[in-house]
Structure 1
Amino acid sequence: MNNNKRIIFSLIIMSLLFFSLMAYLTYFEFFQKDNILANSYNQRLYEYEESVVRGNIYDRNGTLLAYSEGEGENQKRIYPHNNLYSHIIGYSTRTYGKILLEAKYNNELLGINELKVVVDLKNEITGQKTKGNDVYLTIDHELQSLAEKLLKGKSGSVVAMNPTTGEVLAMVSKPDYNPNEDKLKENWSQLVESEESPFLPRATQGLYVPGSTFKVAIASSAIENGLGDETFDDKGTIVIDGKEIRNFGGKEFGTIDMKDALAYSSNTAFAQIGVSLGEQNLRNLSAGLGFNKSIGFGIPLKQSSFDYKKMNKTDMAAVGMGQGKLLVTPLHMAMITSSIANRGMMVEPLLVQKVTGITGNHMIKNNPTVLYQTMNEQTSSQINEMMQQVVNKGTGTKAKIAGIEVAGKTGTAENELSNGDNSKEHAWFIGFAPAENPQIAVSVIIEYSGSTGGEVAAPIAQQIMRQWIK
């Protein structure tokens, strides 16, 4: 009897070990394999890479953005446009590893897939060198070049996207760096130690208070919660729960409705709207816009945050103005803007259009995916009209384009340098055009501008939208 018990016990232990091994191998195959293969410290990957010509990267129209030259250990990745795509494509080097698209699409660029063995055998027979797949981006090189030119000498970001498909048309972050290997080696210490953080892709990893640009979202929630017909007696200041709230420059707008409140960016009106909406509606709004949620993208994208455990009236007032514990990436702000242009539907942002093999067959084709219905279609139409007023007669007049209706919203956001006589707020502008049939949505932020979104960010957005439409 004792022997039988020992045998049964041994069988149970062996079975548990067997199933544990199977579980781990299954987990590894489905969840860890790709990470291990793509790891920059994987020496077997480097050995394989020496036998492959890494695939090219192109813009949406076939403009070459990255390619490889040389063979074996001497193969080198070339970025012909230097800094322009450093925060999208990243770099691929033996010394510093891989980041951004070069890391995310490493397997595709190297041609590592289930057909690899067959392709390698064919190349051994024919003597051909294995070539990886080519990656085509949604980016338009001309628009990207213009955005980079307009941001020259500034810190910040420009994002432009198609509001209905989610295709990112331009995405520039400043400051940047030259990703070519010789330049990286030459400047690495300086880049790593720089207080300007040139390695930070501000469009996707930078988190900023949205300021008055968030008022478009607050207005949408107000309309859908029965507050759209409210009027306000704007005297330039208001006290909420003991805290004084002022309009920018202390301006008074008198008796105004919500349309005028958005057009003139009245803080006193939107602070009251925030309080009237209340904590639960503000939480529902942020969740419905994708705050505190992961969003899929071709490269890492930080979560925008709505960081409140419990809210008092001053917190609600701050959120109503787009201040307080709100943080958003420029790309996410472009997505929110796009949802207004797209009848309330927020689509997943796309950076990679397709991946093709050497035969030209499409191996991967990304299609639009709706993430959230941020507002109903009627509300989005009303917000569209209100944003047109911002550009036609309000704070965003420098975004006007002759012969084309533009919808927009300016923003001036507080930061750690906002106090004192020489305060340096961030300047925002969001918008889309043509307003009646949107083709492009933009998000622009200029860090520590010392000016307003209407003065410094709106003119940049205007030129981006005008070039794409015309």
Structure 2
Amino acid sequence: MAPPRSVRHRRFSIPHDALGPRLRSALRALPLGVPLAAGMLCAGLIDAAVSEPAHARGEQPAAGVASAPVGDPPPDLGRADNEPAEAAADDHDVLAGPLPAAAEASSAARALTTRDAALEARIDRLLVDGKTPYGAVVVMDAHTSRVVAVAEHSTRGPSDGLALRPLAPAASVFKVVTASALLAAGVDADDDACFHGGRTRMTARLLKDDPRRDRCIPFADVLPKSANVAIAKLASRKLTPTSLRAEAARWGFGVRFADVSGLVPSSAVIPDEPFAFAEAAAGFGDVKISALHGAVIASVVANDGVLVRPVFDAGVEPDAPVRVIATRHARALKKMLTETVTDGTARRAFRQGPRLPVSAAGKTGSLTDYETGLDTSWFVGFAPAEAPQFIVSALVVNTARWHIKASWLAKEALRLTVEQRGAAQARSRVASR
């Protein structure tokens, strides 16, 4: 699919030591002329112009913009000494500070896994049949955060831990974090978000009001429609770099939130320069997550604002929940993510092929690098929407000739999970009688 003519590209880089030994070896074996980014780096990506408008800045980052290597906490991430977190909470909600690192599990507790091998095999088949250049899926139990399935696949060589390593940009998935911060800052779901432009590019000029050209939508529609300029404008007026860094820290950025081999913390670089800050808030910044972290983000919304660390070992009891956002804000986000599936950017994917037997909610992300031809898509969400039982995070990195994208993959993974785990739970109930 040819890119819109007005779209330019912007390049980012990922440190070579973030790739892992197997991928480094594979890349060294490539002939000259094959772009380094043609692996699973997903670097230099811009927002696709179809479901989510593209980004097209060609300038270099402004002086003073913070930077951090993949997996390391960005500067000041989570320092919220001047942020009155409790002020945004419900009367019975006390928000936590930055999420602490996970405690190490004992060797005895690691003896049994929480993962369902049969379900993983069926999800693996989705990835194989979809001929995904790079893909990963994580499924968790919504109530306990026990990891039910982890699947990875690559037609181009080793997947190199894509489910656990933050090698892909978060794209519009980060809008969930920004929307949470905006709700805490006093933005109401019914408030107008007025904007114009942004279909093929985003510039500083678009952050200014233009009554002759602006159209307004409720803030509640910003996430379902993934309205880039709308959320960038709101963030530039209602948030600060410090407040957004603190919000990111509460959502687990910069933290190794599970004791599992191969897990690398996600990173979020929130710049101080005003336009770069607005871009980052809209999902165009140097923010990288793993598929596991995508599942954690969805679980916070599903669980009314609390985070339960992912559990991989059956002998380990889940940690006590940590409140990330106020209950009322989580429920507002849940409505937005439900509309994403029913009438937003995931609507078409969830109507293709076999229907999911339950409702679902989630957030999409889509970024394309027109220089390398790589297209990254995300879906992080849960089902059923009204009473979540399962969390899903799906990541797909495609070339120009693609077969599946993340929203469809997530829907199918949820369908298989509901089908298989539901049957297993029914058998368990019969056996206990």
Whether 1:289 aligns to 2:238 is no
1:226 matched to 2:186? The reply is yes
Structure 2 SS opposite 1:204: coil
Distance in 1 (alpha carbons) for counterparts of 2:191 and 2:399: 34
Listed one character per residue, the Cα deviations across residues 199-226 of structure 1 (whole Å, up to 9, x for unaligned) are 6111012422111122122112111110
The equivalent of 1:405 in structure 2 is 359
Q: How many Å separate the matches in 2 of 1:311 and 1:235?
A: 24
Query: Which residue of structure 2 aligns with residue 73 of structure 1?
Result: none
Could you say which structure has the greater relative contact order, defined with CA pairs below 8 angstroms and 6 or more residues apart? 2
Give the one of 393, 408, 419 matched to 2:343: 393
Unpaired runs of at least 5, structure 2: 1-103, 208-212, 420-433
Distance 1:253 1:157 in 2: 39
Offset of 1:106 from its aligned partner?
Answer: 11
CA distance, structure 1, for counterparts of residue 258 and residue 162 of structure 2:
17
1:174 matched to 2:174 = no
Alignment of 1:314-353 (within 5 A): 314-353=275-314
Q: Which amino acid aligns with 1:165?
A: T
Letter in 2 for 1:467: L
2:144 is the alignment partner of 1:165: yes
Report runs of 4+ in structure 1 exceeding 3 Å deviation.
Answer: 104-108, 238-245, 400-403, 448-453
* 1:310-349: CA deviation from partner (whole Å, max 9, x where unpaired): 5111222122222211111110111111111011111111
Q: Offset of 1:107 from its aligned partner?
A: 6.1
TM-aligned CA deviation for residue 452 of structure 1: 10
Match of 2:231?
A: 270
Which structure has greater strand proportion? 1
**Is the Cα contact below 8 Å between 2:295 and 2:393 reproduced in 1?**
yes
The residue number in structure 1 matching 2:162 is: 202
Matched-pair contact (CA < 8 Å) for 1:163–1:347: no
Which amino acid counterpart does residue 464 of structure 1 have in structure 2? A
Larger radius of gyration: 1
In 1, the alpha carbon distance for the partners of 2:196 and 2:215 equals 6
Superposed CA RMSD in Å reads 3.0
Instruction: Give identity over the alignment, percent.
Output: 26
| 2:407 corresponds to 1:458 | yes
Letter in 1 for 2:254: N
Corresponding letter in the other structure for 1:257: P
Helix, strand or coil at the partner of 2:261: coil
Q: 1:266 to 1:199 in 2, by over 3 A?
A: closer
Q: Which amino acid aligns with 2:182?
A: A
CA drift at 1:266:
0.8
TM (normalized to structure 2)? 0.63
Deviates more, 1:457-466 or 1:134-143: 134-143
Structure 2 vs 1, CA of residues 340 and 134 (structure 1 numbering), >3 Å: closer, same or farther? Answer: closer
Partner of 1:468: 417
Judge conservation of contact 1:345–1:370 (CA < 8 Å) in 2: no
Aligned equivalents of 2:174 and 2:356: distance in 1?
Answer: 26
Write the letter of the residue equivalent to 1:223.
Answer: L
| Code of the aligned partner of 1:379 | H
Shift of 1:432: 0.3
- What displacement does 1:444 show? 0.6
Count of residue pairs the alignment pairs up = 301
**d(CA) in 2 for partners of 1:341 and 1:199?**
29
8 Å contact 1:241–1:313 — kept in the other structure?
A: no
Correspondence for 1:29: none
Contact 2:165 2:289 in 1 (8 A): no
- CA distance in 1 between counterparts of 2:170 and 2:326 reads 22
Q: Taking structure 1 as the reference length, what is the TM-score of the superposition?
A: 0.59
Matched residue SS, 1:351: coil
Aligned to 1:447: 397
What letter is aligned with 1:264? K
> Could you tell me how far apart the structure 2 residues matched to 1:213 and 1:316 are?
16
2 CA distance for matches of 1:167 and 1:426?
Answer: 27
Measured in 2, the distance between the counterparts of 1:464 and 1:456 equals 12
Q: Distance in 1 between matches of 2:192 and 2:362?
A: 22
Q: What residue is the counterpart of 1:66 in the other structure? A: none
Deviations 1:27-72 (A, max 9, x none): xxxxxxxxxxxxxxxxxxxxxxxxxxxxxxxxxxxxxxxxxxxxxx
**How big is each residue's C-alpha offset from its partner over 1:427-451, in whole Å with a ceiling of 9 and x where there is no partner?**
1111100011111111111114559
